[in-house]
Amino acid sequence: MKNKDISIYIHIPFCEQKCNYCAFNSFCASDEIKEKYINLLCDEIRRRKCDKVVRTIYIGGGTPSVLTGEQIKKIVGTLFENFDVYEDAEFTIEANPNSITEQLLQTWKSLRINRLSIGVQSLNDKTLKKIGRLHNKKMALEKIKLARKYFDNVSADLIVGLENESGKDLCGYAKQLLALGVKHISCYLLEVYENTKIFQMTKEGKYKPLDDDQTIQAFNKLSNYLCDNGMERYEISNFAFPGYESRHNLNYWARGEYLGFGLSAHSFVGGKRFKNSESLKDYELGKIEEEILTNQEQIEEIIMLGLRCNSGVDLLEVKKLGYDLTKNSYFDEYIAKGILMQNGEKVFLNPIFYHISNTVIANLFQ
Ligand SMILES: C[S@@+](CC[C@H](N)C(=O)[O-])C[C@H]1O[C@@H](n2cnc3c(N)ncnc32)[C@H](O)[C@@H]1O
Ligand code: SF4
Give the strand order in the sheet containing 346-349.
313-314, 346-349, 340-343
Q: Determine contact, residues 151/183, Cβ cutoff 8 Å.
A: no
What's the pLDDT score for residue 1?
Answer: 59
Q: Can you tell me which atom of ligand 2 is nearest the CA of 17?
A: 5
| 3-state SS assignment for residue 193 | coil
pLDDT in tens, 75-89: 999 999 999 999 999
Which ligand has the shortest distance to the CA of 18?
2
**Start-end of H helices in the chain:** 31-47, 69-82, 102-110, 125-130, 137-150, 167-179, 197-203, 212-228, 247-253, 280-284, 295-308, 315-320, 331-336, 357-364
Residue 95 scores a pLDDT above 90:
yes
| CATH 3.40.190.10 is held by the domain 5-253 | no
What's 309's DSSP letter? Answer: B
Rounded CA-CA distance 349/339 in Å is 6
Q: Is 121 in the pocket of ligand 2 (CB under 6 A)?
A: no
Ligand 1 pocket, Cβ-based, cut-off 6 angstroms: 21-24, 60-61, 63, 94, 96, 119, 121, 157, 159, 188, 190-191, 193
Rounded CA-CA distance 49/249 in Å is 22
Angle at the Cα of 346 (from 342 to 348), degrees rounded to 5?
60
Maximum distance among all Cα pairs of the chain, rounded to whole angstroms: 60
Rounded CA-CA distance 1/91 in Å is 16
Q: What pTM did the predictor assign?
A: 0.95
Choose between 101 and 366: higher pLDDT. Answer: 101
Q: Give nearest CA residue, ligand 1 atom 8.
A: 119
Q: Which residues contact 266 (CB under 8 A, 6 or more apart)?
A: 9, 258, 260, 273, 274, 275, 276
Q: Determine contact, residues 158/188, Cβ cutoff 8 Å.
A: yes
What's the pLDDT score for residue 271?
Answer: 81
Mean confidence (pLDDT) of the chain: 95
What's the pLDDT score for residue 366?
Answer: 59
Residue ranges of domains in the chain? 5-253, 295-364
pLDDT in tens, 260-318: 999 999 999 988 899 999 999 999 888 888 888 888 889 999 999 999 998 899 999 99
What's the pLDDT score for residue 223?
Answer: 97
Provide, rounded to the nearest whole percent, the portion of the chain with pLDDT above 90. 89
Q: Give nearest CA residue, ligand 1 atom 6.
A: 63
Q: Can you tell me which atom of ligand 1 is nearest the CA of 62?
A: 6
Choose one of 21, 100, 188, 200 to mutate for the ligand 1 pocket test, by most ligand atoms within 8 angstroms of C-beta.
188
Residue 2 scores a pLDDT above 60:
no
**Peptide bond just before 172 cis, omega within 30 deg:** no
What's the pLDDT score for residue 139?
Answer: 98
pLDDT in tens, 199-257: 999 999 999 999 999 999 999 999 999 999 999 999 999 999 999 999 999 999 999 99
Q: Give nearest CA residue, ligand 1 atom 21.
A: 190
State how far Cα 269 lies from the chain centre. 20
pLDDT in tens, 28-52: 999 999 999 999 999 999 999 999 9
Ramachandran region of residue 46, left (φ > 0), alpha (ψ -120 to 50) or beta? alpha
Residue 189 scores a pLDDT above 70:
yes
Sign of CA dihedral 16, 17, 18, 20: negative
Q: Can you tell me which atom of ligand 2 is nearest the CA of 15?
A: 8
Rounded CA-CA distance 248/253 in Å is 9
pLDDT confidence band for 170 (50 / 70 / 90): very high
What's the pLDDT score for residue 3?
Answer: 66
Tally the C-alpha atoms within 13 A of residue 69's C-alpha that lie toward its C-beta: 12
Give 319 Cα–ligand 1 centroid separation in angstroms.
36
What's the pLDDT score for residue 289?
Answer: 85
The mean pLDDT of 139-168, rounded to a whole number, is: 98
